[in-house]
Structures are given as structure tokens and as C-alpha cells.
Amino acid sequence: MASRAILGTFKNYSFTSRIPRAYRSLSTLVLAEHDSGLLKSQSLSAVEAAKSLGEDNSVSMLLAGSGPSLQEAAAHAASCHPSISQVLVADSDKFMYPRAEPWAKLVQLVQQKGGYSHIIAASGSFGKNILPRAAAVLDVSPVTDVIEMSGSQIFVRPIYAGNALCTVRYTGSNPCMLTIRSTSFPVASKSADSKPNPAPIDQVDLSTFGEDAIAQSRYIGHTSQDTERPDLGNARVVVTGGRGLKNAENFKMIEKLAEKLGAAVGATRAAVDAGFVPNELQVGQTGKIVAPELYLAFGVSGAIQHLAGMRDSKVIVAVNKDADAPIFQVADYGLVGDLFEVIPELLEKFPEKK
């Protein structure tokens, strides 16, 4: 009766369309990745992106996993960024490994309860694996690889391997699901680790979580290099080697140079396919997207698929024996020369890292 009376007062107005619930008020769920009890910095970039959606946005962060390291990561999430207003934790063996199927169902469960207007994940292998599947389960179209936002519905994303930018207006229903390039949403240093009052941490009620979600895939194993080098996605300096290095043994020169510079090591797909280094080091369209302050490329031709992953670097230096190599078109400094002469000379001239 009351609602009829309220609607009656509006009878002289004409409504042309329903305003999607999402845009009446903003609330964002960030799908977070963590490791060894710490939130990964890419997930903080997703929080930065959430901030760009609008000022009145309330940001919840969802973490899943099991055991003490999950709870440590939740505590870290609660206190590491002023824009995080709630941390949701799904603690179960089902999330021991970040498999897409149970995660997608988890996102569906949390969305049913929270009714978020937006769901965001960083565009790494974690987000690229989970978010599209979760979007399919929620029956919405995701907008991927967002590099810029203009309000809560208009997004810019690269197309044609980064050769053109496309502006997309999201007109679908709730939630609007996005993956963002973390290099486009850097975390302001004063944002990180600067929250006097930690956000509340709430456990997700998993009592209705179906077993069917976990049967479709099986965890086999995880390999990664044990290295003290900085993470490729966030390093300030990246030294990349291409097919010009010729073999894995020679590629060690790139690693030595990176060590001296305190840099991360990157590689082209050709170098990865030839087995010089593992594919977690691949930079490019089908590898990692990086935007360091300094990008050094040795024996890299500069194919568009490689440029797609590094062209936003602040300063690009290329060494190639072919003066017509396309890498020189994007390089700030180019040296036409033989890397087998240039790298040993650099190794000799750079002081040892203390």
C-alpha cells in the first residue's frame, strides 16, 4: 500500500528507462591475489582503478585461500590502502589453489549477497583466468584490459595489440566486470601502508557453496623460479633478451646484467619458445604487460606483439645489429651494434651491486 501511494505521487512524471541499479550507488568488489601472507601489488592497482570509478565508491576486497597465510593476507589487505572499506575472506581447502571454477562460483555467491555495481581484477594470469568465467556465470560481458576510466561506465582499452585505443561504454546489467592493467593504475606510495584504522574483516559464509564447482578441474602443480630479482610486472628496470641471444647459455648475460642493475629479466616469445628462459618471463601481448622506468632490449626485433607489452615504458633503450629493426621506432635511445660486444662491455663498466 505504502509503495503504491509513493508511486502515485510520481504519476505525472514519465520515466523513459529504468536506471540500472549499478549506477545509483557505486560499490566495487576487488578480486585479490595474495602470496605468503601479503596482498600482491597488482591487487592494490585494482583498488586504485576502483577509486577512479567515482568518489562515493565503497570498495570491498575478496580473498580466498586456506590457512594462516590467508588470514595474514586479509590483515594486510585491511590495513594497506585507505580506500578498502571491507575485506571478505573465503577460507576453505577448495581455494587452496586459485582455480577458475571454484573462484567463479565464489564470486557469484558473494555477488548475490553484496549486489556490487562493479567487480574488478588485475589483468594478470589470476584475473584473466577467473574474471571471464565469473562473468559467464553471472551472465554479463566483461570489459578487459582497461587502461583508463571516465566515470563508472566508460572505459578505454587497447585493441589490435595496443595499436589503437577503443572507448567502450558499458550498457549491460549488474555487475560491470572489468580487468585492469595494473601498469595504468599505479599505487600512490602514500596510499600503500597508510591506513590508521584497519577495515573490518568478514568471513564469507560458504555453507551453500556447492561441491560441483570444484570437480571440473584438478590442480597438478606450480613451478616458479626462486629468484631474488624484482617481480617483472612491477620492476623499475627491466632487461629483456630476444632471439638474438641465440641460446640459453648466452641468455645468462642478460641475467647477469639484470643482477648488476637490480632489474627484472624479460624475454620475447621467440626466446621463450626456443627454451632460453621459462615463459613466465615473456613480455608482450600474450605475456606480461610492463611499464618500467627503464626498459633495455637486447636482440629484440620489436614485433607488434612484443611492443604491446612494453611500449608504455618510460625510457626504452634498444641494442640491435639491424638498423632497420622496428624496435628502434619506439626506442628513446638506440644502439646499432652486436650484443655480444655491447653486453660484455656493459658488464665490465657497471659496478657490482652492493
Ligand X SMILES: Cc1cc2nc3c(=O)[nH]c(=O)nc-3n(C[C@H](O)[C@H](O)[C@H](O)COP(=O)(O)OP(=O)(O)OC[C@H]3O[C@@H](n4cnc5c(N)ncnc54)[C@H](O)[C@@H]3O)c2cc1C
* Residue list for the binding site for FAD: 243, 268-269, 282-286, 299-306, 320
Footprint on residues 215-254 left by ligand X (CB under 6 A): 242-244
**Residue of 93, 205, 322, 345 that binds ligand X (CB under 6 A):** 322
**Residue of 22, 46, 264, 270 that binds ligand X (CB under 6 A):** 270
The rounded distance, in Å, linking the Cα atoms of 318 and 295 is 8
**Residue of 28, 45, 57, 268 that binds ligand X (CB under 6 A):** 268
**3-state DSSP assignment of residue 36:** coil
φ and ψ of 305, to 5 deg = -70, -30
The rounded distance, in Å, linking the Cα atoms of 28 and 47 is 9
Closest CA to 294 of 305, 310, 273, 276: 310
Please identify, among the stretches 17-25, 169-177, 297-305, 345-353, the one whose residues bind ligand X according to the rule CB under 6 A.
Answer: 297-305
Q: Is 193 left (phi over 0), alpha (psi -120 to 50) or beta?
A: left
Work out whether 286 is an interface residue with ligand X (CB under 6 A): yes
Range 60-82 burial, b when 16+ CB lie within 10 A, else e: bbbbbbeeeebbebbbbbbbbbb
Output the smallest distance, CB 311 to ligand X, in A: 12
User: Which residue, 23 or 340, is less far from ligand X as judged by CB?
Assistant: 340
**Residue of 50, 135, 140, 303 that binds ligand X (CB under 6 A):** 303
User: Which residue, 98 or 334, is less far from ligand X as judged by CB?
Assistant: 334
Give 198's DSSP letter.
P
| 115 contacts 58 by C-beta, under 8 angstroms | no
Work out whether 320 is an interface residue with ligand X (CB under 6 A): yes
**Residue of 34, 76, 269, 311 that binds ligand X (CB under 6 A):** 269
Q: Which residues bind ligand X (CB under 6 A)?
A: 242-244, 268-271, 282-287, 299-301, 303, 305-306, 309, 319-322, 325, 338-340
